[in-house]
Structure 1
Amino acid sequence: MSKTTRTPTLAMAACILASLALIGCSSTVVREPSRGGRPTSSRPSGARPAPAASKPKYGATYTVQRGEGLYRIAANNGIQMADLAAWNNLSPPYSLNPGQRLRLYPSGGERPASGSPSTGAAPPRASAPAPAPAAPVNSGIRWRWPADGPLLGRYVANEPTKQGVDIGGASGTPVRAAADGVVVYSGTGLVGYGELIIVKHNEQWLSAYGHNRKRLVNEGQVVKAGDQIAEMGRSGAARDMLHFEVRYNAKPVDPMLYLPAK
């Protein structure tokens, strides 16, 4: 297996898909002293502790800065990370890009109305659900299938465990780059992906290849469409298969919209 270079920015693997530039999270963890007999907690160094309850900022948005992760943004705005992710339809590993705008309140939410004098309760307000973002129609990239084999699973929007397609095959089946690009990650840091490779194709598009038996490329390596980059396996999976994702501006999209018809 090819050796993977470990750097501080890659130590927190949950940040790999959060930025195409492989930036964002600090790996330093500090312990807070026990207060009032409560157990101690851990949090990233330099970040404020997350609040007990989220405080939505209705109508407000936040622009992601280079080097910021979702936890830090949520804590600095008085919001639980899980709530901020849900309000912006983000799924693990909570992908972010510099310049991306995050909504600091629930989708379709409005500031609660003043309570009624008789009941003190806010009258309900009807709001239309936010429309789902349309998938990009043209990537400008000539994609190819990353492996030969039957299609075992398809992409399901907003389903964290189905952010790509699963392709079956025997252990050792070649896994190939779906398009020209540069390897920006080769390792095992993302829980649930096993032996993982991520290829950056341009500033907007990347592809991910999970559950490999063996990785054959290193970070920084230039690959061409069709080059073998791994061997199919079952690391982090129940059977031999390739989990393949396509991401546009770090957000997962349905690979079947871009792969050629078989």
Structure 2
Amino acid sequence: MRSSSEFPKIKPRSGDVISGGVFNYFAPAVLLAVSIVMASFITGGCASKESISKRVYKADHSARSGSRSAKSSRKASGKRSLKRYHVLKRGETLYRVARRYGVSVSELKRINKIRDDRDVKIGTRIYLPKKKNVRKTSRPRRNRKTSAYTPRTRVRFIWPVKKPDISSRFGIRSSKKHDGIDIRAPRGTPIYAAARGKILFSGKGPSGYGNMIIIKHDKRTISIYAHNRRNLVREGEFVKQGHKIATVGRTGRATGYHVHFEIRVNRKPVNPEKYLGKRR
């Protein structure tokens, strides 16, 4: 029997490659078999063929099971990385997306970290909650009556200008929310109080509104008149329905002469056409 010192010592060099895909697959088994055979020579053949074959089988089995578990973990991680989302298109709102997929608006805002749904731009990815019962439904109709917030109020309104010509309606306009209606009229056309009440504000309004008037009609209902050429009333005054309060202009961010008219109930904008009477 040769001693261990008689076997040549082989040192790997840089650039040496062990070729063959089979060796890569059975690498743990091959290495263990070689080590056991070498040990049997060194110890004088104490390791039997049967024990060697058993150890080789165990090493091969562990290598196969390890590769299977790695593949399954990669597949699982791939599935977890998939996310459901909807790309916001022109004319769509967060409310429509929520109804389309059968989820709540508050849930979409929470998942996508949206504070104000009016700031969501076209092309934004709206991620959906991971639920089995989330199903894509048909798109809701645009002019659906139940989609608008229409609370009851005791206030009876009239049109703020005579022979009104609506140039822009309430709702989504150029992917942004339009909180009122625009009534086209020539420059200097009289603007009337839509209902009796107290002048809550008369002056230069927020950015884009220009000269603006706010009338408080009751504890929860107000009306707004914007882009005025001139305001003819002061804060604190009480006006009757039909009282002349301003003239039509294009102050602020306006492309033409018109009055921007809003009705708000409980501080929320509502569609004025739902509360106005017949055009006069």
With normalisation by structure 1, the TM-score equals 0.51
The RMSD of aligned alpha carbons is 3.5
Measured after TM superposition, the shift of residue 145 of structure 1 is 1.0
- Gap runs ≥5 in structure 1: 1-58, 62-76, 92-106, 114-122
The whole-number CA distance in structure 2 between the counterparts of 1:140 and 1:163 is 21
How much has 1:144 moved relative to structure 2? 0.9
Distance in 2 (alpha carbons) for counterparts of 1:259 and 1:193: 22
CA contact (8 A) 2:194 2:241 kept: yes
Kindly provide the amino acid, as one letter, of the partner of residue 194 in structure 1. Answer: G
Q: Which has the larger radius of gyration?
A: 2
Residue 109 of structure 1 and its aligned partner are, at CA, apart by 7.0
Residues 148 and 270, structure 2, Cα contact 8 Å, conserved in 1: no
Q: Which residue of 1 aligns with 2:265?
A: 248
Inter-CA distance 157–239: structure 2 relative to 1 (3 Å threshold): closer
Give percent identity, aligned residues only: 35
Answering whether residue 255 of structure 2 is matched by residue 224 of structure 1, we say: no
Cα drift, residue 108 of structure 1: 11
**Equivalent residue runs for 1:1-262 within 5 Å:** 83-86=114-117, 125-126=134-135, 132=147, 134-136=149-151, 138-159=152-173, 160=176, 162-236=178-252, 237-262=254-279
Per residue, is there more helix in 1 or in 2? 2
**Preserved contact between residue 202 and residue 212 of structure 2 (Cα < 8 Å):** yes
Distance 1:173 1:133 in 2: 30
TM-score (norm 2): 0.48
Given that 2:195 and 2:241 are in contact with CA atoms closer than 8 Å, whether structure 1 keeps it comes out as: yes
Instruction: Decide whether the 8 Å contact of 2:170 with 2:181 is kept in 1.
Output: no
Matched letter for residue 139 of structure 1: T
Which structure exhibits the higher relative contact order, with contacts defined as CA atoms closer than 8 Å and separated by 6 or more residues? 1
Deviation at 1:171, TM superposition (A): 1.5
Return the alpha-carbon distance in structure 1 between the equivalents of residues 133 and 115 of structure 2. 23
Amino acid at match of 1:197: I
In structure 2, runs of 5+ residues without a counterpart are 1-103, 120-125, 141-145
Amino acid paired to 2:150: A
Task: Tell me the distance in 1 between the aligned counterparts of 2:215 and 2:180.
Answer: 15
